[in-house]
Structure 1
Amino acid sequence: MSQPTSSRSNLAEALSGWPPPVLDPHGPFSNTVTSLTWVLIALVTLIFALVCAALWVALYGSDTLRARLGGEGVVKWFGLVVPAGVLFLLLAWGLTLAAGLTTIQGDELRMRVSGNIYWWRVSYLDAAGKELHADANELHIPVGRPVVIDMVSEDVIHSFWVPKLGGKMDMIPGRTNRLKLQADRAGVYGGQCAEFCGGAHSLMGFVVVAHEPEDWQRWNAARLARQQPQPAPAAAPVDDEVLRGSRLFGEAGCAACHRIAGTSAQGLSGPDLTHIGSRQSLGAGILPNHRGTLIGWIGDSQSIKPNNRMPAYRSLQAAELHALAAYMESLK
Structure 2
Amino acid sequence: MTARRALVLPAPLLLALGGCERWPAALDPHSPEASSIASLIGGFVALLGAIWLAVVVASLLAIRRGRADAASAEPQSYDAAAERRRTAWVSVLTVATAVVVLVLTGFSYATQRVLFGPRQEGLTILATGHQWWWELRYEDADPSRIVETANEIHVPVDVPVTLKLESSDVIHSLWIPSLMGKIDLIPGRQNYLRFKAAAPGVYRGQCAEFCGVQHAHMGLLVVAEPVEDFERWRDAQRRTAVEPSDPERQAGHDAFLKRPCVMCHAIRGAGAGGRSGPDLTHVGGRRTIGAGTLPATRGALAAWIVDPHGVKPGVDMPMVKLDPDELNSISAYLESLK
Q: Shift of residue 244 of structure 1?
A: 1.5
Q: Give yes or no for contact 1:104–1:148 (8 Å, CA) kept in 2.
A: no
Q: Secondary structure at the match of 1:208?
A: strand
In structure 1, give the amino acid aligned to 2:138.
Y
Per the alignment, residue 180 of structure 1 pairs with 194
Aligned residue number for residue 274 of structure 1: 281
Matches within 5 A, 1:181-330: 181-224=195-238, 226=239, 232=240, 234-313=241-320, 315-330=321-336
Q: Equivalent residue of 1:268, what SS?
A: coil
Are the equivalent residues in 1 in contact too, given 2:263–2:274 (CA < 8 A)? Answer: yes
Alignment-derived partner of residue 5 in structure 1: none
How far residue 248 of structure 1 moved from its aligned partner, in angstroms, is 1.8
2:76 is aligned to: none
Would the alpha carbon gap of residues 35 and 194 (structure 1) be closer, same or farther in structure 2, given more than 3 Å must change?
A: same
Identity of aligned residues (%): 40
Counterpart Cα distance in 2 of 1:330 and 1:269: 22
Distance 1:129 1:240, change over 3 A: closer
RMSD value, Cα:
2.6
Which TM-score applies when normalising by structure 1?
0.85
Matched ranges for 1:28-47 at <5 A? 28-47=32-51
1:147–1:181 CA contact under 8 A, matched in 2: yes
CA distance in 2, matches of 1:255, 1:248: 10
Taking a change above 3 Å as real, the CA distance of residues 83 and 320 of structure 1, as seen in their structure-2 partners, is farther
Contact 2:24 2:204 (C-alpha < 8 Å) held by counterparts: no
Question: 1 CA distance for matches of 2:57 and 2:127?
Answer: 49
Alpha-carbon distance in 1 for matches of 2:144, 2:113 = 26
Are residues 68 and 126 of structure 1, via their aligned partners in 2, closer, same or farther at CA, if it must alter by over 3 Å? farther
- Contact residue 281 and residue 289 of structure 1 kept, 8 A: yes
Distance 1:68 1:242, change over 3 A: farther
1:55: which partner in 2? 59
How far apart in 2 are the matches of 1:214 and 1:33? Answer: 29
Note if 1:27 corresponds to 2:12: no
Please list, as runs of the form range in 1=range in 2, the aligned pairs for 1:96-111 lying within 5 A after superposition. 96-111=110-125
What is the total number of aligned residue pairs between the two structures? 309
Contact 2:37 2:181 in 1 (8 A): yes
Q: 1:141 aligns with which of 155, 158, 163?
A: 155
Aligned counterpart, 1:7? none
Q: Please identify runs of 4+ aligned residues in structure 1 that moved more than 4 A.
A: 62-70, 127-131
Letter in 2 for 1:155: D
Opposite residue 306 of structure 1, the aligned amino acid is: P
CA distance in 1, matches of 2:325, 2:140: 42
Q: Give the stretch that moved more between structures: 117-126 or 100-109.
A: 100-109
Question: Could you give the per-residue CA deviations for residues 61-119 of structure 1, whole angstroms, max 9, x where no partner exists?
Answer: 346999779944444443x4333332233223212222232345343111110111000
Shift of residue 222 of structure 1?
2.9
1:143/1:185 contact within 8 Å kept:
yes
State the AA in 2 paired with 1:48: W
Counterpart among 157, 162, 169 of residue 171 in structure 2: 157
Amino acid at match of 2:194: K
**Is the 2:30–2:178 Cα contact (8 Å) retained in structure 1?**
yes
What amino acid maps onto 1:35 in structure 2? S
Larger radius of gyration: 2
Deviations 1:188-233 (A, max 9, x none): 1111111111111111100011111111122223334x2xxxxx3x
**Structure 1 residue 260, shift from structure 2 partner:** 1.0
CA 161–38 in structure 1, closer or farther in 2 if over 3 Å, else same: same
Q: Which amino acid in the other structure matches residue 26 of structure 2?
A: V
Mark the runs of 5 or more structure 2 residues left unpaired by the alignment. Answer: 1-18, 71-81
Letter in 2 for 1:21: A
Question: Structure 1 residues 70, 261: closer, same or farther in 2, change over 3 A?
Answer: farther
Change (3 A) 1:58 1:327: same
Question: Judging changes above 3 Å, is the alpha-carbon distance between structure 1 residues 73 and 267 closer, same or farther for their aligned structure 2 residues?
Answer: farther
Shift of 1:25: 0.7
3-state SS of the aligned residue for 1:22? coil
Checking the alignment, whether the CA contact within 8 Å between 2:147 and 2:234 is kept in structure 1 is no
Query: What stretches of structure 1 of length at least 5 have no aligned partner?
Result: 1-14, 227-231
Instruction: Name the structure, 1 or 2, with higher relative contact order (CA <8 Å, separation 6+).
Output: 1
SS in 2 for 1:21: coil
